[in-house]
């Protein structure tokens, strides 16, 4: 299209997004947060496609996968427990909660996994909302296998406790803390090597990290509320 033809459109209002800029554009906030996951075996699709090394952490953001190496430094913000059933025509998602109906569905999915493992078409476990220090973004981490669920209690030590919750439960309040999620090599009796999570049991995170752009407290609160509210949204949508 020539400039003469373009002029025929008249005076088109200028959109700022069309103009050259040196500023980094913020990514649009979709329905799902990026996720971090631990790659424990060489048979993982991420490994066979040479996207991530075995025993490494991966950042999966849409169609883009980034190898984060053997450890990641994060701020642990919130936790929910989720069960997913892929076995039927429609995926069923349930959260562990005080709601009797929702909790019963979560318990059913958990029982299916305990009885039949991956063959059940189900998975369950804690989902943590994290702030990934390296890329300075909010991510989710779904620990839906046995080794991941076994580490959940250690990650819980880094979760914040509000003043109100501390008073109600007779404990000390604490702010969100830095934690390092690492890697541990495991050798079987037959000499086969595999990798599993390695989370420090101390509630003191790494002290050498300095965040150039830490998240604003208001944004952290908003993210946490949205993360926890998904349990309520799921229940409401199921009852419609």
Lowest mean pLDDT among 41-55, 90-104, 129-143, 215-229: 90-104
For the chain, the DSSP string reads --HHHHHTT--PPPPGGGS---SPPPPP--SS--EEEE--STTSHHHHTTSS-TT-EEEEETTEEEEEES-EEEEEEEEEEEEEE-SSSS-EEEE-SS-HHHHHHHHHHHHHHHHHGGGGTEEEEEEEEEEETTTTEEEEEE--SHHHHHHHHHHHTTS-B-HHHHHHHTS--B--EEEEEEEEEEE-TTS-EEEEEE--SSS---SS---SSPPPHHHHHHHHHHHHHHHHHHHHHHT-
Select, from the ranges 31-45, 92-106, 141-155, 197-211, the one with the highest average predicted confidence (pLDDT). 141-155
pTM here is: 0.78
Mean pLDDT of the residues in the chain: 80
Q: pLDDT by residue (tens digit) across 143-200?
A: 998 888 888 888 888 888 888 888 888 888 888 888 889 888 877 777 777 788 777 6
Q: pLDDT by residue (tens digit) across 73-99?
A: 898 999 999 999 998 888 899 998 766
């Amino acid at each position: 299209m020539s400039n003469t033809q373009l002029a025929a459109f008249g005076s088109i209002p200028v959109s700022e997004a069309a103009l050259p800029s040196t500023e980094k554009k913020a990514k649009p906030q979709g329905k799902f947060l990026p996720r971090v996951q631990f790659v424990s075996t060489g048979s993982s699709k991420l490994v066979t496609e040479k996207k991530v090394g075995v025993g490494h952490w991966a950042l999966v953001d849409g169609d883009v996968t980034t190898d984060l190496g053997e450890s990641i430094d994060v701020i642990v913000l919130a936790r929910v427990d989720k069960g997913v059933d892929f076995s039927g025509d429609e995926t069923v998602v349930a959260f562990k909660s005080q709601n009797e109906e929702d909790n019963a569905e979560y318990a059913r999915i958990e029982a299916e996994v305990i009885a039949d493992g991956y063959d059940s078409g189900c998975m369950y476990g804690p989902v943590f909302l994290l702030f990934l220090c390296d890329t300075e973004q909010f991510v989710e981490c779904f620990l839906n296998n046995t080794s991941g669920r076994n580490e959940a209690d250690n990650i819980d030590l880094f979760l914040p406790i509000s003043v109100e919750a501390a008073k109600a439960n007779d404990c000390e309040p604490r702010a969100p803390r830095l934690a390092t999620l690492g890697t541990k090599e495991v050798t079987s009796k037959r000499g086969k090597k595999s990798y599993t999570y390695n989370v420090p049991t101390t509630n003191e995170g790494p002290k050498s990290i300095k965040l150039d752009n830490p998240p604003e407290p208001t944004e952290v609160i908003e993210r946490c509320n949205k993360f926890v509210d998904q349990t309520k949204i799921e229940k409401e949508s199921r009852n419609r």
